[in-house]
Amino acid sequence: MEAATVITPVVLCGGSGTRLWPLSREGHPKQLLKLLGARSLLQDTLLRVREVTGIGAPEVAEQAREIGTNNAAFILEPCSRNTAPAAAAAALSAVASGKDPLLLLLPADHLIRDASAFCSIVEQGVSAALGGAIVTFGIVPTAPAIGYGYIQAGARCSDNSYEVASFEEKPSLPRATQFLSDGNYFWNSGIFLSRASVYIAELEAHSPEILSAVREAVVNGTNDLDFFRLQADSYERCPVNSIDYAVMENTKRARMLPLPLEWSDVGSWDAVWKIGTKTAEGNVSTGDVLTHNTKNCLVQASHRLVAIAGLEDVMVVETPDAVLVVHKDQCQEVKVLVDMVRERGTSEASAHRKVYRPWGSYDAVDGGQRYQVKRITVKPGAKLSLQMHHHRAEHWIVVSGTARIRNGDRDYLLTENQSTYIPIGETHSLENPGRIPLELIEVQSGSYLGEDDIVRFEDIYGRA
């Protein structure tokens, strides 16, 4: 790669990963999960590419900071519109600065263990991308998988990339078996390398309605602390489409490079089992787990002891508010269970008990009729909105750190073991003026305890 060539990675952080429920939720998707060790899939992706521009949220920014990625730029979608609009937002933001970098578009939730080999293969695509191609990377298949899209490689080019003969989505098993036998079909990784201007031009040619809506959303977007927020009305009008359908299956600029590395999209619990470190009995476990007469099982314990005996080929996943038990052959059916949870109208499909906010997080540790208990963590320098509630009162007890309280017309500080009371209808706010996280217990009481009983008057994070 030429020394002057700069690649700007764009990590796409959308998707909900429903087949990894109950650990993955709409508000805490699989890319944020630490499935394989101390780091999340997102953090591994950031470390793989080192510098990143991408689609984010408060917890994404926090995970980036945890691993020392402090120079990331975050673009926030007001709603999900798939990968083509998200990539357009990144490309338009890049060229708005007067530059035309090579963009490496890649998902946040894939496993690629050999980061050095991955970067070397990406560098092999630079020549084609500088020449105006949109380079996609094809995973060398190891089995006739029917859950992936396939890329058929055409003629080899002088820069060692391949022309793309065709794309095919999720074939039947006989057809996938034939693809594996042919040897010129590759799994579609969803990773692309292209100049920002080339992607914009091809989107203009093949999906102009997407480009128009996203351009308007970028022009009218706003900066908000760590984030750039796309303008909601324009982005919501944008059609929903992927890079593959909107651009790659129509463009004449498509090229492909094989990616002969260990790879997984970690799309289901049996995939987590396959890539996990196994015991002599074939078991993969995380957390406080006991097994007896058990083979080829996965057990994920998040908050308590999980003990199993006499099982084989079973996935067990425990969280504070839900437990999944599914046979390995039925892992794709977890999505059906998630739909059933949604139909019940309860929160287990969308959020964990612990919820992240721009100022920190809260964990709903207990609740019942007319009361709820939360453990609240406020980051140093962070502040909750100035707000009031129509239906609930709140008691705050400081566990550690210092709290600056506004309670009606009073302003005061609380330290460890001190408490205060916020009556129903009283205007109030909470701030951490210290250098360490503020930990407190909040006890809510009242006739209605929903999160929508919040009237905000001031908010440094721009929330309504």
Sequential DSSP letters for 142-205:
SS--SSS-EEEEEEEPTTS-EEEEEEE-S--HHHHHHHHHHS-EEEEEEEEEEEHHHHHHHHHH
Q: What is the pLDDT of residue 63?
A: 56
Closest CA to 256 of 168, 203, 192: 192
CA 157 to chain centre: 35
Beta bridge pairs of residue 73: 53
Q: What is the pLDDT of residue 116?
A: 87
Report how far residue 461's alpha carbon sits from residue 226's, in angstroms, rounded to the nearest whole number.
10
Cα–Cα separations (whole angstroms), residue 397 to 81, 330, 360, 362, 410: 42, 46, 17, 14, 17
Q: What is the pLDDT of residue 50?
A: 59
Q: What is the pLDDT of residue 52?
A: 35
Predicted model pTM: 0.76
Q: What is the pLDDT of residue 45?
A: 80
Domains for the chain: give ranges and CATH numbers.
Answer: 7-264 (3.90.550.10), 269-343 (no CATH), 354-458 (2.60.120.10)
Residue ranges of the chain with per-residue pLDDT less than 70: 1-5, 15-16, 50-72, 225-226, 463-464
Report how far residue 52's alpha carbon sits from residue 8's, in angstroms, rounded to the nearest whole number.
7
pLDDT per residue as tens digits for the range 77-103? 888 899 999 999 999 998 887 888 899
Cα–Cα separations (whole angstroms), residue 220 to 72, 74, 231, 378: 21, 16, 6, 31
Q: What is the pLDDT of residue 2?
A: 46
Edge-to-edge strands, sheet with 323-327: 284-286, 298-301, 314-318, 323-327
Cα–Cα separations (whole angstroms), residue 151 to 265, 417, 432: 16, 62, 52
Q: What is the pLDDT of residue 312?
A: 97
Edge-to-edge strands, sheet with 392-400: 354-357, 360-368, 371-378, 438-446, 392-400, 419-422
Q: What is the pLDDT of residue 438?
A: 97
